[in-house]
């Protein structure tokens, strides 16, 4: 059974998060929250075994520091969804603004829509999937993990990337230290598994694989 927490215009971010944690403490780990205004920092720092559905258009830092929870957002979200998350899953059934998955350590973020600039910057091991178009500077300084974009990317994609892989299904302009590599069978299998899991319709054979040109780009 899903337990509902319905916010009103009067409820603050603090009050919603306190209600959420109170329900979790009562062993209610399958929760639904209807958010009626663009609040920031909802469902922050949740742990493993918790399922939360957020209904409505939300603000910044939704699901930040996620440590294992499964968070579904039925609406659009602002900047830095999943910021510095260390595990779990965040699904956005809408679009997102800048900074999706900034500093992610582990876990998966899927946006079923467009996203802004700076996707997956400083990614340290997460999987970030955008089923749409994104802006500039995706994967800046990323260290590990995967960024998958089914549509177009902007300029400086993979700028100064140190590790990890970026897969782009459309057009893009690569940044410093980003280099096109041959798609292998294991890349296609990885994409297929992710697309099947999250019901994404995209032609795997049209993707470009981008990885670092040098492992130590700042030292020549």
Task: Return the pLDDT at 12.
Answer: 84
Per-residue pLDDT at 149 exceeds 70 = yes
pTM of the predicted model, to two decimals? Answer: 0.94
Contacts of 173 (CB under 8 A, 6+ apart): 153, 154, 155, 156, 157
DSSP code for 2: P
Domain 35-219 belongs to what architecture?
3 Solenoid (2.160)
DSSP 8-state class, residue 154: -
Element (H, E) at 131: none
Q: What is the pLDDT of residues 41-78, one digit of tens each?
A: 999 999 999 999 999 999 999 999 999 999 999 999 99
Q: Please report, in angstroms and rounded to a whole number, the separation of the first and last CA atoms in the chain.
A: 57
- Boundaries of every domain in the chain: 35-219
């Amino acid at each position: 059974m899903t337990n509902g927490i319905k916010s009103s215009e009067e409820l603050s971010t603090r009050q919603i998060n306190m209600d959420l944690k109170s329900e979790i403490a009562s062993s209610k780990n399958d929760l639904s929250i209807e958010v009626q205004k663009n609040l920031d920092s909802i469902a922050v720092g949740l742990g493993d075994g918790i399922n939360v559905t957020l209904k409505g258009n939300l603000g910044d830092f939704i699901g930040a520091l996620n440590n294992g929870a499964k968070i579904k957002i039925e609406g659009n979200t602002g900047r830095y969804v999943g910021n510095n998350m260390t595990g779990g899953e965040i699904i956005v059934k809408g679009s997102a603004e800048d900074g999706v998955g900034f500093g992610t350590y582990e876990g998966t973020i899927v946006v079923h829509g467009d996203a802004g600039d700076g996707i997956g910057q400083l990614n340290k091991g997460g999987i970030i999937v955008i089923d749409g178009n994104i802006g500039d500077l995706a994967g800046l300084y990323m260290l590990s993990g995967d960024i998958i974009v089914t549509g177009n990317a902007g300029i400086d994609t993979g700028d100064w990337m140190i590790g990890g892989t970026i897969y782009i299904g459309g057009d893009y302009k690569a940044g410093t230290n980003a280099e096109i590599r041959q798609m292998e069978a294991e890349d296609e299998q990885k994409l297929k598994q992710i697309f099947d899991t999250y019901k994404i319709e995209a032609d795997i054979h049209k993707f470009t694989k981008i990885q670092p040109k040098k492992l130590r780009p700042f030292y020549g």
